[in-house]
Chains A and B, each alone.
Chain A
Amino acid sequence: MTMKGADAVLKALEQEGVEVVFGIPGGASMPIYDPLVDRSPIRHVLCRHEQGAGHAAEGYAWATGKVGVCMATSGPGATNLVTPLADAKMDSVPIVAITGQVPTPVVGNDAFQEADITGITMPITKHNFLVKDPAEIVETVREAFHIASTGRPGPVLIDLPKDVLQADVEYVWPEKVALPGYRPTTKGNNRQVSEAVKLILAAKRPVLYVGGGVIKANATDELRHLAELGDLPVVTTLMARGAFPDSHELCLGMPGMHGVYTAVTAMQRADLLVALGSRFDDRVTGKLTAFAPDAKIVHVDIDPAEIGKNRVADVPIVGDCRDVISKMITELRKRQGDAGAPDRSEWLATLKGWQTKYPLRYAQNGDALKPQYCVERLRSFADDDTILVSGVGQHQMYAAQYWRFERPRHWINSGGLGTMGFAVPAAMGAKAGQPDKRVVAIDGDGCFQMTAQELATSNTERIPFITAILNNGYLGMVRQWQELFFDERYSGVYLNPDVPDYVKLAEAYGAVGLRVETPEEVDATIEKAYAIEDRSVVIDFRVDPREGVFPMVPAGSSNDDIILGPEFAPHETPGEAPIV
Chain B
Amino acid sequence: MNGHLHTISVLVEDRPGVLTRIAGLFAARGFNIDSLAVGPTESRGVSRMTIVVNVEDKPLEQVTKQLNKLVNVIKILEHDQGAAVERELMLVKVRSEGDNRPRIMEIADVFRVNVVDVTQGTLTLEASGKPEKLEALLGLLREFGVVELSRTGRVALGRGDRGIKDRTLKVASDA
Question: Would you call A17 an interface residue if the criterion is a C-beta within 8 Å of the partner chain's C-beta atoms?
Answer: no
**Distance in angstroms between the alpha carbons of A73 and B73 in the assembled complex:** 29
Query: Closest CB of chain A to B58's CB: distance in Å?
Result: 10
| Interfacial chain A residues near B59, Cβ < 8 Å | 308
Q: Is B100 an interface residue when CB atoms closer than 8 A count as contact?
A: no
Least Cβ distance of A183 to chain B in Å?
10
Q: Is the Cβ of A181 less than 8 Å from the Cβ of B16?
A: no
Q: Does A309 contact B (CB under 8 A)?
A: yes
Q: How far is the CA of A483 from the CA of B62 in the complex (A)?
A: 38
- In the complex, the answer to whether A122 meets B24 with C-beta atoms within 8 Å is yes
Q: Is A303 an interface residue (CB 8 A)?
A: yes
A350 at interface, CB cutoff 8 A: no
Stretch at the interface among B49-57, B63-71, B110-118, B130-138: B63-71
CB distance from A226 to the nearest CB of B (A): 27
Give the nearest-CB partner of B172 in chain A: A180
B65 touches A304 (CB 8 A): yes
Chain B residues with Cβ below 8 Å from A218 are none
CB-defined interface of B21-42 with A at 8 Å, one 1/0 digit per residue? 1001100100000000000000
- The answer on a CB contact under 8 Å between A127 and B17 is no
A residues near B65, Cβ cutoff 8 Å: 304-305
How many whole Å from A119's CB to the nearest CB in chain B? 7
8 A-B residue pairings within 8 Å (CB atoms): A122-B21, A127-B71, A130-B16, A130-B17, A147-B71, A179-B71, A305-B62, A308-B62
Q: Are A180 and B175 also in contact (CB < 8 A) when A305-B69, A308-B61 are? A: yes
**Residues on A facing B (Cβ under 8 Å):** 118-119, 122-123, 126-127, 130, 147, 178-182, 303-305, 308-309
Contacts of B126 in A (CB 8 A): none
How distant is the Cα of A118 from the Cα of B24 in the complex, in angstroms?
A: 12
B13 neighbours in A (Cβ, 8 Å): 180-181
Flag if B175 contacts A179 (CB, 8 Å).
yes
> Which A residues are CB-close (under 8 A) to B28?
123
Of B24, B28, B65, B171, chain A has the most CB atoms within 10 Å of the CB of: B65
Q: Are B17 and A180 in contact (CB under 8 A)?
A: no
Give B173's nearest chain A residue, CB to CB.
A180
Report the separation of the CA atoms of residues A118 and B72 in the bound assembly, to the nearest whole angstrom: 14
- Which chain A residue has the least Cβ–Cβ distance from B59? A308
Complex formed: what's the CA distance from A309 to B25 in Å?
16
- How many Å lie between the Cα of A127 and that of B172 in the bound state? 18
- Residues of chain A within 8 A (CB-CB) of B70 are 127, 181
Does residue B123 face the partner (Cβ distance < 8 Å to A)? no
A180 — which chain B residues lie within 8 A by C-beta? Answer: 13, 74, 171-172, 175
Report chain A residues within 8 Å CB of B175: 178-180
Cβ of B127 within 8 Å of any chain A Cβ, yes or no, is: no
Residues of chain B within 8 A (CB-CB) of A123 are 24-25, 28
Tell whether B20 is near chain A: CB-to-CB under 8 Å: yes
- Minimum-distance CB pairs A-B, first 7: A305-B65, A178-B175, A180-B172, A180-B175, A127-B71, A181-B74, A182-B71
Per the bound structure, the CA–CA distance linking A309 and B70 in Å amounts to: 17
A119: chain B residues at CB < 8 Å are 17, 20
Chain B residue with the shortest CB-CB distance to A154: B69
Does B12 count as interface, using CB distance less than 8 angstroms?
yes
- Docked Cα-Cα span, A130 to B17, in Å, equals 10
User: 16 additional contacts, CB 8 Å, given A123-B24, A127-B71, A179-B175?
Assistant: A119-B17, A122-B20, A126-B71, A127-B70, A178-B175, A180-B13, A180-B74, A180-B172, A181-B13, A181-B71, A181-B172, A304-B65, A305-B65, A305-B66, A305-B68, A308-B59
Chain A residues contacting B61 (CB-CB under 8 Å) are 308
Collect the chain A residues with CB atoms within 8 Å of residue B69's CB: 303, 305
> In the complex, which residues of chain B have a beta carbon less than 8 angstroms from the beta carbon of A308?
59, 61-62
In angstroms, Cα B73 to Cα A122, docked, is: 14
CB-based contact A181/B20 at 8 Å = no
On chain A, the residues within 8 Å of B172 by CB distance are: 180-181
How distant is the Cα of A476 from the Cα of B2 in the complex, in angstroms? 50
Q: Once the chains bind, are A309 and B17 in contact (CB under 8 Å)?
A: no
Q: Complex Cα distance A123/B17, Å?
A: 12
Closest to B45 in A: A180
Write the nearest CB–CB distance from B6 to chain A, whole angstroms. Answer: 17
Cα–Cα distance between A180 and B18 once the two chains are bound (Å): 14
Q: How far is the CA of A180 from the CA of B75 in the complex (A)?
A: 9
Residue contact A181 to B72, C-beta cutoff 8 Å: yes
**Chain B: CB-nearest residue to A309:** B62
| B65, chain A: closest CB distance, angstroms | 4
Bound state CA distance, A122 and B66, in angstroms? Answer: 14
What residues on A are CB-neighbors of B71 within 8 Å?
126-127, 147, 179, 181-182
A180–B59 alpha-carbon span in the complex (Å): 26
Bound-state CA distance A179–B45 (Å) is 13
* Shortest beta-carbon distance from B4 to chain A in Å: 19
How many Å lie between the Cα of A180 and that of B171 in the bound state?
Answer: 7
Contacts of B68 in A (CB 8 A): 304-305
Across the interface, name the chain A residue whose C-beta is closest to B73.
A181
Chain A, residue nearest B168 (CB)? A180
* A178 contacts across to B, CB distance below 8 A: 175
Q: How far, in whole Å, are A181 and B46 apart by their CA atoms in the complex?
A: 11
Task: A304 to B21: give the CA distance in the assembly, Å.
Answer: 19
Tell me the nearest residue of chain A to B23, going by C-beta: A122
Q: How many Å lie between the Cα of A158 and that of B70 in the bound state?
A: 16
Complex CA gap A130/B20 in Å reads 14
Docked Cα-Cα span, A126 to B66, in Å, equals: 11
A122-B17, A127-B71, A308-B61 known; A181+B12 contact, CB < 8 A: yes
Least distance between B106 CB and chain A CB atoms (Å):
49
Of all chain A residues, the one with the shortest Cβ separation from B67 is A305
A305 to B175, CA, bound (A): 25
CB interface residues, B 72-109, toward A, < 8 Å: 72-75
* A303: chain B residues within 8 A (beta carbon): 69
Least CB distance from A381 to B in Å reads 44
Within 8 A of A (CB), among B147-162: none
Residue of A nearest to B16 (CB): A130
Query: Max chain B CB contacts within 10 Å: which of A130, A147, A178, A182?
Result: A182
